[in-house]
Amino acid sequence: MRLKDKVAVITGAANGIGLTAAEVFGKQGAKVAMADFNAEQGTKHAQELRAKGYDVTFFQVNVADRSSVDEMVTKVREVYGKIDILINNAGITRDAMLSKLTVDDFQAVVAVNLTGVFHCTQAVLPSMIEIGKGKIINTSSVSGVYGNVGQTNYAATKAGVVGLTKTWAKELGRKGINVNAVAPGFIETGMTAKVPEKILDQMKQMVPLLRLGKPEDIANAYLFLASDESNYINGTVLHVDGGIMM
């Protein structure tokens, strides 16, 4: 097992990519702290994964609220004793063209997608420094690298995540902590399920592989960067996008 006895905190784990990552990590022997704002879905899915034999526990958290993050991290350490891996997967969208984007929607996305990454990483840092090693994986996006129409707020936060990743990789590498990011392309999630079929077909035609990505594609990238196989990878942004932006 590639993550045997490792303790992993995965934010945004109540559904989508985060939920898939929780199962993938559980299969690989990790003790998984599923962190999410949605307590109903998080509790339900944690019970389902435990029924499959995986060591998972749900912790409610609002990543935009530092006191909530600190409380979550304290509880994780009470249950599991340490934190080896942090997957900053939680994210939201509030898409609109610049002329129609409200200040509230801009700030809401920044609070979760960027400030939330800062909160969670700073909160788990003492645990990683204590054991002298750790893996931090942040979720960026191709939108954050290349921009995207109607996503001023989202693209800005995902570009910011790249900046955080590279800065922390330089700061924390000497402490035995690897910091990397994953930049997903178009992935089949609950959000894309609401997109009209005609638009989905157009999206697929933009990808050289002629398909959208699956949550497993991103979860497996998280797994690689969280495992010992990536011990000499630091400050990298791994694109998992089917080649859409070549």
Q: Which residues are catalytic?
A: 154
| Tokens 């610049």 belong to residue | 98
Q: Which of 4, 16, 159 is nearest to 89 (CA)?
A: 16
The answer to whether the CB of 64 falls within 8 A of the CB of 88 is: no
Distance, CA of 175 to CA of 160 (rounded, Å): 23
50: three-class secondary structure by DSSP: helix
DSSP conformational letter for 100: G
Instruction: At 127, list the tokens.
Output: 């645990």
240: three-class secondary structure by DSSP: strand
The answer to whether the CB of 144 falls within 8 A of the CB of 157 is: yes
Distance, CA of 227 to CA of 223 (rounded, Å): 6
